[in-house]
Structure formats: structure tokens, C-alpha cells
Amino acid sequence: MTDRVLVLAQASGLLSLQKDVDLAQARPGDVITYTVTFSNPGTEGIQEIEIFDPISADVDFVADAFGPGQDIEWTTVGGTVYLTADPADADEAMLDPATGTLRIICSRQNPFVMNSGEVSSITYRVRIK
């Protein structure tokens, strides 16, 4: 099983990305946690950050992983926000069931600027089929 991450940033700045998993090996039924960490090593703020993370067909996305209606944990220098991946919800996260792609729009409801040197992370869980 392999996973890819594509990060798009519409700004004049740099964006560094790393995706980690908490288990090196997993069996069917196991829940694994992915953390996508992104940072701004540049000198200018970055806006309009969108993360597209195709999720393998070998796993199922775990809804309510952090509590009811809290599918995804988004941590910034300002604190932690929990998002739902339901595309009908107006927050920053959407899981497209047709393509299995998780999309995080870091400024959907509120303006989000990642300043120079700042780090954010998106954490979610999947279950091995």
C-alpha cells in the first residue's frame, strides 16, 4: 500500500511537507494514524493552502476519530481545530468518496496565513481493510 500527498499553495513563498504514519506494519482491522506536517521555511506568508491527500483503496477513513463530528485534527500555532470530512459540511475538510481524496482548504471559513517559520499539521485515522 502506498500513499501520495500533493500540496498546492497559491502564494509567493515556500512550503515544506512531510507525511508520517504511526505504525510501520499493520494488519486488517488495525487503525493507523497519518500526520501531514507542513511548514513555511520562507520569508513571506503563504495563503490559500490546499492539501490533496489521496487515500489508498486498501483502507477506510475513520469518521469521528477524535470525537463526534471530529474526523480530522488540524493543529496550528493558534491551537487545535477539529474538522469533519463530510463534503456537505462547510468547514475546511472534505473527503470525496468517489476518488478517495481528502482535501483540506486551510482558509475556507477564516483567512489563514502561514507566516515564516510556522508549522501546522493535519492528523487523521484510517482502518486497514
Each residue's pLDDT tens digit, 45-67 = 888 888 888 888 899 999 999 99
Cα dist from 116 to 16, 43, 46, 64, 111, whole Å: 11, 5, 8, 32, 16
Task: Kindly report, residue by residue over 2-43, the tens digit of the pLDDT.
Answer: 555 555 554 546 788 888 999 988 899 999 999 999 999 988
Selected residue with higher pLDDT from 108 and 120: 120
Query: What's residue 3's pLDDT?
Result: 54
**Domain range annotation of the chain:** 6-128
**How far does the chain reach from its first CA to its final CA, in angstroms?**
11
Q: What is the pLDDT of residue 6?
A: 58
Tell me what percent of the residues of the chain surpass a pLDDT of 70.
90
Query: 13: closest CA among 37, 39, 51, 35?
Result: 39
Cell reading at 56: 489508498
Class of domain 6-128: mainly beta
Mean pLDDT, residues 95-122 taken together:
88
Pairwise CA distance, residues 51 & 105, whole Å:
7
